[in-house]
Structure formats: C-alpha cells, structure tokens
C-alpha cells in the first residue's frame, strides 16, 4: 500500500512541479516583456548603462562609417564617441524608447514591420557634437541617417501566448498548489516529498535567473548581431523588476527544505 501511495504521490509531484514552473515562468514573462508599454522605461535604463551605450554606438558607427564621404574623414573612435555622447541626451533617449516600444509590439504580435534604430534626433545630436556652430559640416552630418534597421522577422512573436497569459498563470498556479498539496498528503514519505518540492523551487529560481538575467547579460551581447544586442540590453534592464519573484521562489525552496528535516 505504501508503495502505491508513493507512486501516486510521485506522479502528482511531477505534475505539480511542472505546473509550478509554467506558472512561475509566465509570471516572470508578464512582469518583464509582456506588460504593454513597459519596455520604454527599460530603454531609458538600458541607455543609462555606459557599456550598453558603447555597444549601440559601435554598431551604429560600423553601419554608417562608409555611407557618406564626410564620415570618411572622421576617425571611427571619434565617431563612436560622439554617438555615445548623443545617446545620453533626453531627446535621443526618447527616440530610443520608441524603438523599445516597437520591439515589444512585435513580441506581443501587434506589428511585424522593420524597426529603425536611430533617427533625425540622433543625427542632429551627433552633428552638434562633432561640428557645433551651425557649420556646413554640421548641416551635412545632420542629414545622415545614423542608425541601423532591425527586421521584423528577427523578433519572435508571443501573440497567442500573450492573449492567454492570465488564464495560463491562474490555471497553472492553482493546479500546482492542488497537486503538490495532494502529493504531500498522499505520500508515505512526507519529509522526502517536501524536500523535493523545496529543492525544485530553488532550482526554478536558479533557472529563471539564468534564462532571464544571465543569458541577456552575459551571452547575447557576445553575439555580434544588432537586433540581439539591442534586445538583450533592454531585456537585461528589465531584470530588476522581477527580483522579488526570484527571491520568493528561492526563499520558499529554502524554507520547505529546512522544514522537511523537522517532520
């Protein structure tokens, strides 16, 4: 009888942990990339990071350095430095925030066309930095379209998932609570079952941190691809918004694991 109870508890435990993972991941996605308009604040935060600005400036400098004769007389480091400085200006940050909003709209399935990173405001700011004083050189630089394009096909769409997100979160978390509680009640080895749940929650927390923080911060930036580098910077800027979720999952896992030694 104890063997059968343990087998049933094991099945319920597996189902409950799967539902917990789906629910936790969905909550993290909702709080980072799926809240409408949230990306604009992440864009401002991303451009506040000197390393991100330098990366974006380098991409733009490489893309435009041979696009106009006047740029051939400007050393690339000077050009990249000017672009970097321009990216700190409020008006340029607002232009970049619009790019972030369009990226989010692609993810939500609300649009699918190409996205232009950079624009007239960036060009004007760069021109004023390199050749201030309303000189002919400044006027010429202001007409150069500084930036690069992200194709719509390079950005994944989560439209169908987004439309069902709230239902997925509610159903998965309720199912997780019901099946995990049932597994614990049925189990003939309650302390061992509770410890497995605790260890799993610690693992969930570590996995979510790896997927939504470590990968954008340490892996994607090394892929020399404009869209990925920009998206990674914005997603990485969103990581602090879900710190409470990681900490709650980790704390619950530690607590359950410790309690398991007391029963």
Q: pLDDT (tens digit, 9 = 90+) per residue, 114-158?
A: 888 888 999 999 989 988 877 888 888 888 888 888 887 778 888
Residue 15 above 90 pLDDT?
A: yes
Question: How far, in Å, are 92, 163, 165, 223, 250 from residue 207 at the CA level?
Answer: 35, 25, 20, 21, 11
Q: Residue 43 and residue 222: Cα distance in Å, rounded?
A: 19
Question: How far, in Å, are 65, 121, 181, 198, 255 from residue 60 at the CA level?
Answer: 8, 14, 54, 47, 49
Higher pLDDT: 240 or 24? It is 24
Average pLDDT, the chain: 84
Helical ranges in the chain per DSSP H: 2-32, 38-47, 50-64, 76-86, 90-107, 120-130, 136-142, 159-163, 165-186, 190-209, 226-237, 243-260
Instruction: From 229, 179, 230, 198, select the one nearest 13 (Cα to Cα).
Output: 179
Determine contact, residues 79/61, Cβ cutoff 8 Å: yes
Q: Residue 231 and residue 223: Cα distance in Å, rounded?
A: 12
Please give the pLDDT value at position 230. Answer: 73
Q: Residue 185 and residue 8: Cα distance in Å, rounded?
A: 11
Task: For residue range 176-232, list pLDDT tens digits in order.
Answer: 999 999 998 988 888 999 999 999 999 999 888 887 777 767 776 666 656 666 777
Residue 242 above 70 pLDDT?
A: yes
Please give the pLDDT value at position 220. Answer: 61
Task: For residue range 35-79, list pLDDT tens digits in order.
Answer: 767 778 888 888 888 878 888 888 888 888 777 888 878 888 888
Determine contact, residues 204/24, Cβ cutoff 8 Å: yes
Please give the pLDDT value at position 221. Answer: 60
Please give the pLDDT value at position 70. Answer: 84
Please give the pLDDT value at position 88. Answer: 92
Q: Residue 43 and residue 127: Cα distance in Å, rounded?
A: 23
């Amino acid at each position: 009888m104890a063997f059968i109870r343990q087998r049933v508890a094991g099945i319920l435990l597996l189902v409950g942990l799967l539902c917990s993972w789906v629910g936790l991941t969905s909550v993290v996605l909702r709080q980072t990339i799926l809240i409408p308009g949230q990306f604009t604040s992440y864009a401002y935060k991303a451009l506040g990071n000197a390393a991100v600005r330098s990366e974006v400036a380098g991409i733009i400098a490489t893309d435009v350095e041979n696009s106009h004769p006047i740029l051939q007389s400007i050393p690339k480091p000077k050009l990249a430095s000017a672009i970097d400085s321009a990216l700190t200006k409020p008006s340029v940050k607002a232009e970049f925030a619009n790019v972030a909003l369009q990226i989010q709209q692609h993810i939500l399935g609300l649009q699918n066309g190409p996205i232009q990173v950079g624009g007239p405001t960036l060009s004007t700011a760069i021109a004023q930095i390199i050749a201030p004083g309303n000189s002919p050189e400044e006027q010429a630089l202001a007409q150069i379209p500084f930036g690069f394009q992200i194709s719509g096909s390079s950005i994944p769409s989560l439209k169908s998932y987004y439309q069902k997100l709230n239902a997925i979160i509610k159903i998965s978390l309720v199912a997780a609570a019901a099946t995990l509680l049932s597994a614990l009640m049925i189990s003939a080895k309650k302390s061992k079952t509770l410890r497995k749940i605790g260890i799993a929650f610690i693992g969930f927390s570590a996995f979510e941190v790896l997927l939504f923080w470590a990968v954008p911060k340490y892996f994607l930036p090394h892929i020399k691809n404009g869209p990925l580098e920009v998206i990674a910077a914005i997603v990485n800027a969103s990581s602090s918004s879900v710190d409470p979720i990681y900490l709650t999952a980790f704390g619950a896992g530690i607590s359950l694991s410790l309690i398991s030694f007391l029963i």
